[in-house]
Structure formats: structure tokens, C-alpha cells
Amino acid sequence: MQKILPEKPEKPGLNLRGVTIYQDLLDRAAQEALLEDVRAMVRAAPLYSPVTPSGRKMSVRMSAAGQYGWISDRRGYRYSSHHPSGAPWPDIPQRILGLWERVTGYPRTPECCLVNFYTVDARMGLHQDRDEADLNAPVLSLSLGDDALFRVGNTTRGGKTESLWLRSGDVAVLGGSARLAYHGVDRIRAGSSDLLRDGGRINLTLRVVT
């Protein structure tokens, strides 16, 4: 059987304010295989449009897989064991779990695979991933589709930030001193990838929740 995912990164990743970024880690075949996994996840748990606790509609659409999904609505930001429809989340595909194991080497299995879909106009403001109980566990982020301008700041609000374009097949790991770094997506570069037929970007984020 042809290997789709790399056994492990062959060279050290770039360091963006403590965030490790493995550029071009996944080749086209691996990206296409993971895209099929994402499509199966979304068939089971359709993308929905979250709102902030204040009622403002977010520009990204979301779904998830695993024991938990991260949701946002008028009741607040939180993890939930069920899709907003009331259905349980699907299992995280084995290929995606394999990527976590190969890249992070962390002994615990992720309990959430968050799916964010960005159109050309979508953004994600600077935020921390801090709703998890085990902050020693890294957060792995995978990009598929159009390029995204990824910005990383400090572990407290304010101060200097740095940015880098994430391309399809890039993997970022927030761990160690950068586990609680503020980060976000400022812009999507439309037409920079032909992986998604109608354009846009998919971001998969793997997290240990409990």
C-alpha cells in the first residue's frame, strides 16, 4: 500500500515566535487523501455558521470530529460532545490521527479535530487556545487549500506580532512556550491553490481536550 503521510518531518520546522511550522510537509497525494477524510467528516457533521456570545456571526464555518467539538453560540465558547444539530460528532479518521502521532509524538490521542472553512472574505482574530484541561499537549494545525496569512503574537495581548503565509500541506504546531500564544488568520489569498474545486481554505486543528 502506498504511503500517503510522511513518517516524520525530515527537517526542522521554521520557528515563528515559538510556533513550529513544517512547510510543504504533505505532498499533493497526501492532501487529496486527507481532503476525502474531511469530506466524510462534514457529511456526517455538516458545516455550520457559529456566532459569538454577543450574537455576531463569525466569518468561518465550522465542524468537528472526535469526542468533542468546539462550538460558539449565544451561550458562549465551549467544547461539546454533540454537533449543534444534536448528533454526535464522527470519529477522527485514522489518517489524521496518524499525522498527529508522526508530527507531535505526544503520547495522548487528540479528542477533537476542529474543522474551519475559510472563504476569501473569512478571518480569524487573534485568540488563545486555552479551553483545554491539558495545556502541556500541543495543538496541531493543518492547512488545505488557499494560502492564509497566519499571525502569531505573545502569550498576553498586545506587543509585537509576526506573520507568515501558510500554504496547502503546511503543518503548524503550537507547543511549549508558544502553546498559549495569540494567533489568527488575517487574510486568504484567493486562487493560490486548486485543491478545493471552488476555492477556499480548510484548517484542521487537533487538540487534547480533557
Answer yes or no: is 4 within a domain.
no
Residue 9 counted as domain residue: no
Q: Is the pLDDT of residue 191 over 80?
A: yes
Residues β-bridged to residue 127 = 183
Q: Residue 19 and residue 155: Cα distance in Å, rounded?
A: 12
What integer pLDDT is reported at residue 11 of this predicted model? Answer: 73
State what percent of residues in the chain have pLDDT above 90: 87
pLDDT for 2 beyond 50: no
Query: How much of the chain, in percent, has pLDDT values that exceed 70?
Result: 97
- The Cα–Cα gap between 166 and 68 comes to 26
Residue 137's pLDDT is what? 96
Give dist(CA 32, CA 153) in Å, integer. Answer: 31
Q: Looking at residues 69-73, what average pLDDT do you find?
A: 89
Q: Quick check: 63 pLDDT over 80? A: yes
pLDDT at 7: 67
Q: Is residue 6 part of a domain?
A: no
DSSP SS3 for 31? helix
In a domain, 3, yes or no: no
Residue 55's pLDDT is 87
Mean pLDDT of 172-192: 96
Can you give the pLDDT at residue 4? 67
Distance (Å, rounded) from C-alpha 141 to C-alpha 105?
15
pLDDT band, very low/low/confident/very high, at 72 (cuts 50, 70, 90): confident
Residue 124 has pLDDT above 90, yes or no: yes
* pLDDT for the residue numbered 12: 81
Tell me, what CATH number does 114's domain have? 2.60.120.590
Question: What does the pLDDT average to over 184-202?
Answer: 97
Q: Is residue 23 part of a domain?
A: yes
Q: How many domains does the chain have?
A: 1
The arithmetic mean of pLDDT across residues 182-203, rounded, is 97
User: Is pLDDT above 70 for 210?
Assistant: yes
pLDDT, position 3? 56
Confidence of residue 77 (pLDDT cuts 50, 70, 90): confident
Grid cell locating 27 = 505532498
User: Does residue 1 carry a pLDDT above 80?
Assistant: no
pLDDT of residue 196: 97
If pLDDT is split at 50, 70 and 90, which confidence band does 167 have?
very high
* Residue 117 located in a structural domain: yes
Which domain does 94 fall in, by range?
A: 14-207
* Residue 2 domain flag: no
Residue 123 in any domain: the answer is yes
Residue 18 buriedness (CB in 10 A; 0-12 / 13-18 / 19+) = middle
In this prediction, residue 122 carries a pLDDT of 96
